[in-house]
Structure 1
Amino acid sequence: MQDIDNVGKTGRHTMAFEMMAHHAFNAREEAEGYAYEGEVYWKDETVAYCDELLREMGADPEKVTYIEDPWVGGGNAGPAIEVIYEGLELATLVFMSMERDEDGDYLLKDGNRYSKMDTYVVDTGYGLERWTWMAQGTPTVYEAVYPETIEFLKQHAGVDYTDEEDRLVAEAATMAGGLDVDDVDDVEAARGEIAAELGVDVERLRDLVEPLESIYAVADHCRTLAYMLGDGIVPSNVKTGYLARMVLRRTKRLVDDVGVDVPLDELVDMQAARLGYENRDTIREMVRAEEEQYRETLERGSRRVESLASEYADRGDPLPTDRLVELYDSHGIQPETVREIAAREGASVEVPDDFYALVADRHGDDDGTDAAQTDSRAEAVADLPETDLLFYDDPAGTAFEAVVLDCFEREDGYDVVLDQTLFYPEGGGQPADTGTLRTDDDSFAVTDVQTVDGVVLHRTDENPGSGAIVRGSLDAERRRALMRAHTATHVVGHAAREVLGEHVRQAGAQKGVESSRLDVRHFRRIGRDEIEAIERVANRIVRQNLSVRQSWPDRNEAESTHGFDIYQGGIPPGERVRLITVGDDVQACAGTHVERTGDVGLITVLSTEPIQDGVERIAFAAG
């Protein structure tokens, strides 16, 4: 998203790209010696394959340049070779042979020290769009990647140039790399330099290339939207949803500005069809719903712009960039629209060339977890073995015997560590089990259960003492209610996808004894008919009395078999993944479940409400 302002202008930037690759993992003793003696797959052989590919595609060997430079990233480092053809970078060949080590012998350009690895890794990246462009020799990457779309857009925007104008545009394209907003302070000044080089008036050049720049960007953005919406991203005001919204609204403005007389959902659908998406109707629905919301936002936001512009006009000051970003973030007002409204109020607006990159920076963090907070408990349990979790093999069990390994005093009680436990620690939206620990002499209430680095901590009000043998007893009714609730959550989520569409993804969940809630990503309010349909589908699954199966496959096997949709509740750590399968619904899950869907009992949808833009909350009860 950092290059969004360059798309269409430079002739080479695209928002989405496909990185082709080949890899090798040289894991053997004395890997360095073998690598540089040519006895394992390393630099010489990698470059030879690249040469062969270039020759097969008809490239002139005299126009190929290989540039070697140190590479660092992600805690690893090594030499890298850039593959340049007639000034265009086609590929980067990375040879990871070092890892970050504060005591390492090698100080590299990032200021960190590194040492040699035992495994030498070849990691290459070939930009598919760049190779397509190189092979076809078109003025820009866009004609090579989106030829039919661009011709369609030109026809429907009334863009028709003479042969002489086409020649001038093609010549300007060879210099368009000089419009990169990351490299120049003033794009329009850079355009003036290109016009001078071509010997034409800058206004004439602008009139010719700006409509094409918009058309190029529309073609590219529509493909990006097809990828994003087709893969289940719902436009919203947070994270990846916000980026989808930003791209969609920018595309809508470009379509309107250049005068393309085709609905935006149809343009996105053209790209979705080429990419082979089966959920094209849902993609079009999302685009139309977002357009409608955008229109409503513009109507409300325009009044805010008028007020703000009048305020700054009275001061004699231009509207600052942070206000532009705020208006876009909070009200969806494009900076160009702000400039038009502000001009009517007598206020000036300078739109930064990298405006959309600035906006993207504010929302760039994806759905990754926040950095872990320092926890004194982690230090306390560092030398203890992981707790043996009995509830996976005996989910219906409520009594067990264990040995106390250690006990830590806290402000509100004690954290007791056992060698094994049936108590489920809070996690994945499922509350912790409660119950008691008993010795021959005393009984201790367990009021909370947490896990730290695989060690389960049982919160009690007294210290049973290290080495004590305890008998654990769960609150059986609470456990059974939470098992029903957790399985019901999977069932309701499956029902929501069946009714609302495959784009529906879990955004959060909380299981409870009396009622539970499931937050799903969806692009509009859930209607009464849809609520009833979700309830019907959920109870149909309950009546089918399907088996609720657990398995522990290797992570790679799980992902290759079921895809990344298994991670509805987040990505768990570890080489193996626990999968819960209910019919054809498969999810990675660490919670406790009933044996069959019939054990869940009647599911009742209590309510639905939007908790944030693009996220609907479904409250329900089970049993």
Structure 2
Amino acid sequence: MLEEEYQLDYFHRNDFHRARCVKCGGYFWSRDPERITCGDAPCDPYSFIGSPIFKKKNLDEMREAFLGFFEARGHKRIGRYPVVARWRDDVFLTNASIYDFQPFVTSGKVPPPANPLTISQPCIRLDDLDSVGRSGRHLSTFEMMAHHAFNSKEEKIYWKEETVEYCDEFLRTLGAEIDAVTYKEEPWAGGGNAGPCLEVLIGGLELATLVFMDMEQSADGKILINGDRYRKMDMQIVDTGYGLERFVWLSNGSSTIYDAIFPEVVDKLMKSAGITNPADDPTLNEIFSSNARLSGLIDIKDNSNLLELRSRLASEIGVEVDELNRIMTPVETVYRIADHARCLLFMLADEIVPSNVKAGYLARLVIRRTLRLLESLDTELDLFDIIKLHTEYITAYPELKNSLNRISEILEIETAKYRETLASGMRIVERMVKKKQSLPLEDVIQLYDTYGIPPEVAKEVASRQNLKIEVPDNFYSLVAKRHSKQERVEETIDPRLERVKNLPDTIKLYYEDPLTFEFEAVVLDTFDDCIVLDRTAFYPEGGGQPADTGTISTQENIFNVIDVEILDGVIIHHLESDGKISRGEIVQGRVNQKRRMAHTRHHTATHIVLNAAKKVLGDHVWQSGAQKSMDRARLDISHFKRISMDERRRIELLANEIVMSDIKIDINWFNRNAAEKRFGFTLYQGGIPPGDKIRVVRTGDDAQGCGGTHCTSTGRVGAIKILKCERIQDGIERIEFAAGDAAIRSMQAEEELLFNTAEILRVPPDQLPKTATRFFEEWKELSKENERLKEALAEAKVGQLISDAKEIGDHAVVAEIFYGVDREELVKIGRLISGKGLYSILIGILDGEASVVTSAPANSAIKAGDIAREVSKVLGGGGGGRPELGQGGGKRIEKAEEALNQGLRSFESY
């Protein structure tokens, strides 16, 4: 980054001096001409622990001080965004305040909600999850206080000079010694953008970053940052981030950030676990203060860094490392649990459903890690107790309390799943360890990703087999980082873009009048089997709604339209066959009305069913996918448990009540900011539409951004019938339903099934339940009788079989081939024979296959499973089993005699 980027008039007017740090080599600005270090750790140690920098404030007071400061200076205060980034398709969690405005505002496509603005945004970053609790400063969730200004060519708000001046002034209002503040030059890059940045430092701690985002990534860019090329962009964005928790820590001067930001939760946890709180013990307090100071000098990224930190601290205070670990680990565990519980409160309250994918994966990771940590503490508090405790002190966001009932239910289910995972995990790891001489990190990560098995379990099982596993101390951070972003499919440039780039956007008649099925249009272009018109009533595939079909007619020919797609605003019609159609020709289009109306009803019904599901199951329900067809539709939703039959009926009933209310469906285009402000981020249930305008479809109190075709009122949807509900993956439930005449046909099909069954049983339909129950009871009795007869038959056969047993050495062996006898009966016979002290080799031929059963008396040297394997090989199959009972089989029934003899020969070797 060029030096001129940081040559600010404000610095020169206020006696700042630019210097180069003698330790890290970075450039910084300071009012102190004698200063030779930049002020950042590890170049400067923490100096604020025990000596607060600011006037003491808690989280609420500090947040209000910041927001009020900027509000008084012309910034509009806006509310927080969710911690799950619903408005983005590239990341899952909100990592910074600028995430709230990417990609639409930062690209200049959409104006900001206010300009300038100020916000305090709760953020979640899990990249340093393993450092939480140990470093004294790391957090999984934090608030980024910020002020933003979005400068364009048309409107200049403010830029670097004012940004630094605001920062200086705010620090003064907090009581900071302004001469101790340094501004360190540091290029910033992320999310495809970049710019010069000033890190704000005091007391050895980075408090804020002032980013001047004015570049975008480009292959032909001339500015190189971290190996990537950038070029200047039209927008100039003030992107600041002030760490709320760090400001509070500096005002408190406590030994760790955790004691400063949620002391009540820490204290309650420690008391419940019988752990001495460092805040109440001068010796412990000094240990943790020293640890925090040293951790500022060592970046804890892996196990070697942690060992170095422990070793240096042990040497400094004069104790052995093992003893230091014994003292510190319980306290650090409390810090971690307190932090993770607060993180989960925001995650779950903001409607993340734990699962194996996306944001749900990250929520489950934090849940299971916290449960694991809780197991190491002797406390009666469970995870929900700690989360609930946080809500008593987070007064700025009262909405968090509204989710406690749902959070309690989610944690109950997740805890049960975790216990099941631990139980099965031991066996899975044991099998894997037996097959391998070592378990590399990738295998340990796969065990966690695939089965949810914690690395501690893998390590424990491996140690019992004398197999050492090296699990890095930043294991959970590595896993979280892998799952923090959406996997990107490499984009390819459609060659047809060049063909249509000079054509005007197609006029969409299906929006102007959804009941237009016949129209006249002018041909703008033809190529391959495609035709482009100036206007069309044909709907192109999108939003889970299939493309329309129909015909396009010229004066001489009629062409079938088999597919329709939209490309950069231009609608392309695919014809079944090439034909002579000329540019400028006037054609007539006719849409398949029956197909379109079926899709339209199912699209509107999808909105209605989703609305009903949210009301029955809870606000956490989020659309994960949808698809419409003529005879049915499916809706995939996030939900943490199976949909019960009662819930299914209630969703269906409520959906039909909405239909019968005949609510007018309101469809309007809104400015994106206005739409988000009015309707919230549930707008994006069906995906994230591009551009600054959003087409909002409202069915009563439900509003979604949607480009599909819809009925004019809910009554036109007709009946809605839920066909089935099923779990398609963990955390995702699928609802299949039919609407309109498709619903009637599905009900008629069910009715036909009911009447046909009644006719078979020769009873009226209303007598089916009673009749089915009676038949079932009779069937159970007959089954029991059948089993009794089989036992009697087996016993009768055994007597004869034993009398015909073959003597092979010291062994009496029953060897027999049965026809028409199933495996179950062979097992009964084999057990009866071995119970009388004999061996058996039994082959049953049934339905063209051979079943093998072998048996041996208890504690015999001859293993029945080994005999079954030998016999089954001859039959072209496989076998095995326990010492007392072996099973197998094969399809080469013609070799049954040979297989029996092979089994008998096996006894000769004993």
Question: If the TM-score is normalised by the length of the shorter chain, which range does it land in?
Answer: over 0.9
Report if the CA contact (8 A) 2:135-2:300 is conserved: no
User: What's the counterpart of residue 82 of structure 2?
Assistant: none
| Alpha-carbon displacement from aligned partner over 1:285-342 (angstroms, at most 9, x marks no partner) | 1111111111112212210112223344xx4xx4211111111111211111221222
1:130 Cα deviation from its structure 2 partner = 1.3
User: What's the counterpart of residue 894 of structure 2?
Assistant: none
- Of 638, 642, 651 in structure 2, the residue corresponding to residue 521 of structure 1 is 638
| Alpha-carbon displacement from aligned partner over 1:566-585 (angstroms, at most 9, x marks no partner) | 10011000110000001110
User: What's the counterpart of residue 295 of structure 1?
Assistant: 419
SS of residue paired to 2:734: strand
1:208 aligns with 2:323: no
User: What's the counterpart of residue 496 of structure 2?
Assistant: 377
1:458 aligns with 2:573: yes
| Alpha-carbon displacement from aligned partner over 1:242-268 (angstroms, at most 9, x marks no partner) | 111111100110111123321212222
| Alpha-carbon displacement from aligned partner over 1:511-531 (angstroms, at most 9, x marks no partner) | 111110000000111111110
SS of residue paired to 1:171: helix
User: What's the counterpart of residue 598 of structure 1?
Assistant: 715
SS of residue paired to 1:322: helix
1:423 aligns with 2:538: yes
Residues 238 and 84 (structure 1), Cα distance of their counterparts in 2 relative to 1, 3 Å cut: same
Looking at structure 2, the residues matched to 121 and 325 of structure 1 have their Cα atoms a distance apart, in angstroms, of: 39
SS of residue paired to 1:594: coil
Report if the CA contact (8 A) 1:76-1:100 is conserved: yes
Looking at structure 2, the residues matched to 365 and 50 of structure 1 have their Cα atoms a distance apart, in angstroms, of: 32
| Alpha-carbon displacement from aligned partner over 1:465-506 (angstroms, at most 9, x marks no partner) | 322211100111111111110110000000100011100000
Residues 616 and 98 (structure 1), Cα distance of their counterparts in 2 relative to 1, 3 Å cut: closer
- Of 306, 311, 320 in structure 1, the residue corresponding to residue 430 of structure 2 is 306
1:239 Cα deviation from its structure 2 partner = 1.2
Residues 107 and 17 (structure 1), Cα distance of their counterparts in 2 relative to 1, 3 Å cut: same
1:437 aligns with 2:552: yes
User: What's the counterpart of residue 7 of structure 1?
Assistant: 132
Looking at structure 2, the residues matched to 376 and 25 of structure 1 have their Cα atoms a distance apart, in angstroms, of: 35
**Is the deviation greater in 268-277 or in 499-508?**
268-277
User: What's the counterpart of residue 884 of structure 2?
Assistant: none
**Is the deviation greater in 185-194 or in 135-144?**
185-194
Letter in 1 for 2:644: G
User: What's the counterpart of residue 150 of structure 2?
Assistant: 25
User: What's the counterpart of residue 168 of structure 1?
Assistant: 287
SS of residue paired to 2:301: coil
User: What's the counterpart of residue 36 of structure 1?
Assistant: none
1:563 aligns with 2:685: no
Report if the CA contact (8 A) 2:303-2:472 is conserved: no
**Is the deviation greater in 494-503 or in 40-49?**
40-49
Residues 618 and 113 (structure 1), Cα distance of their counterparts in 2 relative to 1, 3 Å cut: closer
User: What's the counterpart of residue 654 of structure 2?
Assistant: 537
- Of 140, 147, 153 in structure 1, the residue corresponding to residue 269 of structure 2 is 153
**Is the deviation greater in 121-130 or in 185-194?**
185-194
**Is the deviation greater in 40-49 or in 211-220?**
40-49
Looking at structure 2, the residues matched to 100 and 289 of structure 1 have their Cα atoms a distance apart, in angstroms, of: 44
**Is the deviation greater in 500-509 or in 53-62?**
53-62
Letter in 2 for 1:332: G
**Is the deviation greater in 158-167 or in 131-140?**
158-167
Identity of aligned residues (%): 48
1:49 Cα deviation from its structure 2 partner = 1.4
Residues 166 and 116 (structure 1), Cα distance of their counterparts in 2 relative to 1, 3 Å cut: closer
SS of residue paired to 1:578: strand
Looking at structure 2, the residues matched to 55 and 111 of structure 1 have their Cα atoms a distance apart, in angstroms, of: 38
Residues 447 and 501 (structure 1), Cα distance of their counterparts in 2 relative to 1, 3 Å cut: same
Q: Which has the larger radius of gyration?
A: 2
Looking at structure 1, the residues matched to 385 and 440 of structure 2 have their Cα atoms a distance apart, in angstroms, of: 36
Looking at structure 1, the residues matched to 442 and 282 of structure 2 have their Cα atoms a distance apart, in angstroms, of: 44
- Of 259, 264, 272 in structure 1, the residue corresponding to residue 378 of structure 2 is 259
- Of 464, 481, 485 in structure 2, the residue corresponding to residue 344 of structure 1 is 464
Bigger relative contact order (CA 8 A; separation at least 6): 1
Report if the CA contact (8 A) 2:291-2:313 is conserved: yes
Looking at structure 2, the residues matched to 28 and 416 of structure 1 have their Cα atoms a distance apart, in angstroms, of: 39
**Is the deviation greater in 294-303 or in 182-191?**
182-191
SS of residue paired to 1:552: strand
Looking at structure 1, the residues matched to 441 and 366 of structure 2 have their Cα atoms a distance apart, in angstroms, of: 20
SS of residue paired to 1:246: helix
1:168 Cα deviation from its structure 2 partner = 2.3
- Runs (5+) with no aligned partner, structure 1: 32-39
1:116 Cα deviation from its structure 2 partner = 4.8
Report if the CA contact (8 A) 2:441-2:470 is conserved: yes
Looking at structure 1, the residues matched to 463 and 189 of structure 2 have their Cα atoms a distance apart, in angstroms, of: 48
Looking at structure 2, the residues matched to 70 and 359 of structure 1 have their Cα atoms a distance apart, in angstroms, of: 28
User: What's the counterpart of residue 519 of structure 2?
Assistant: 400
TM-score, structure 2 as length reference: 0.64
1:323 aligns with 2:440: no
Looking at structure 1, the residues matched to 467 and 267 of structure 2 have their Cα atoms a distance apart, in angstroms, of: 39
- Runs (5+) with no aligned partner, structure 2: 1-125, 741-910
1:197 Cα deviation from its structure 2 partner = 1.9
Report if the CA contact (8 A) 1:78-1:97 is conserved: yes
Report the RMSD for the aligned CA atoms in angstroms: 2.1
1:269 aligns with 2:393: no
Report if the CA contact (8 A) 1:436-1:472 is conserved: yes
1:548 aligns with 2:673: no
1:420 Cα deviation from its structure 2 partner = 0.8
SS of residue paired to 1:121: strand
Residues 301 and 103 (structure 1), Cα distance of their counterparts in 2 relative to 1, 3 Å cut: closer
1:281 aligns with 2:405: yes
Q: How many residues align?
A: 605
Looking at structure 2, the residues matched to 30 and 261 of structure 1 have their Cα atoms a distance apart, in angstroms, of: 58
1:450 Cα deviation from its structure 2 partner = 1.0
1:447 aligns with 2:551: no
Residues 536 and 119 (structure 1), Cα distance of their counterparts in 2 relative to 1, 3 Å cut: closer
Residues 526 and 179 (structure 1), Cα distance of their counterparts in 2 relative to 1, 3 Å cut: farther
1:122 aligns with 2:238: yes
| Alpha-carbon displacement from aligned partner over 1:102-134 (angstroms, at most 9, x marks no partner) | 666x53334555555555432211111111111
- Of 321, 325, 332 in structure 1, the residue corresponding to residue 452 of structure 2 is 332
- Of 143, 146, 154 in structure 1, the residue corresponding to residue 259 of structure 2 is 143
Report if the CA contact (8 A) 2:518-2:537 is conserved: yes
Letter in 1 for 2:347: M
Report if the CA contact (8 A) 1:517-1:619 is conserved: yes
Residues 453 and 55 (structure 1), Cα distance of their counterparts in 2 relative to 1, 3 Å cut: same
Letter in 2 for 1:457: I
Looking at structure 2, the residues matched to 418 and 578 of structure 1 have their Cα atoms a distance apart, in angstroms, of: 23
Report if the CA contact (8 A) 2:302-2:472 is conserved: no
1:78 Cα deviation from its structure 2 partner = 3.3
User: What's the counterpart of residue 35 of structure 1?
Assistant: none
Looking at structure 1, the residues matched to 202 and 302 of structure 2 have their Cα atoms a distance apart, in angstroms, of: 21
